[in-house]
Amino acid sequence: MPQRNVTITSQQDEFVKSTLVSGRFGNISEVFRAGLRLLEREEQEMQLFHRELDKGLMAFQQGDYTQIRSPDELEAFFEELGEGERAGQKGNGSSWP
């Protein structure tokens, strides 16, 4: 496996040590690989988010959107989507928006 020499802060070093002491990881390489996996997953999620955002913006620019002007229209919109009660907001007296 390729090897790298990295510099970390004292706080990061303490965190690495604590993960080793806890037994969560067997060695420093495992700690760094886990961190890199999380960073890679975050990068993939951000790429997906940006692709979906671009699709949404393009749809909006082409006039493909629903304009909602009131709480009743919002509720009807979600009912059309098959959402029904969403996250307990229906009928709980919450104010618009």
Confidence of residue 88 (pLDDT cuts 50, 70, 90): low
pLDDT in tens, 33-47: 999 999 999 999 999
- Residue whose tokens read 């390729």: 2
Check residue 82 and give its pLDDT: 84
Residues above pLDDT 90, as percent of the chain? 76
Q: Which SS3 state, helix, strand or coil, does residue 76 take?
A: helix
| Pure H helices in the chain | 10-21, 28-61, 71-80
Residue 71 near residue 96, CB atoms below 8 Å: yes
Residue 18: Cβ within 10 Å count: 11
- Where do the structural domains in the chain lie, given as residue ranges? 10-80
- Would you say residue 90 has pLDDT above 80? no
3-state SS of 38-62 is HHHHHHHHHHHHHHHHHHHHHHHHC
Under 8 Å between Cβ of 49 and 43: no
Confidence of residue 17 (pLDDT cuts 50, 70, 90): very high
Residue 1 binned pLDDT confidence (cut-offs 50, 70, 90): confident
Query: Averaged over 47-68, what is the pLDDT?
Result: 97
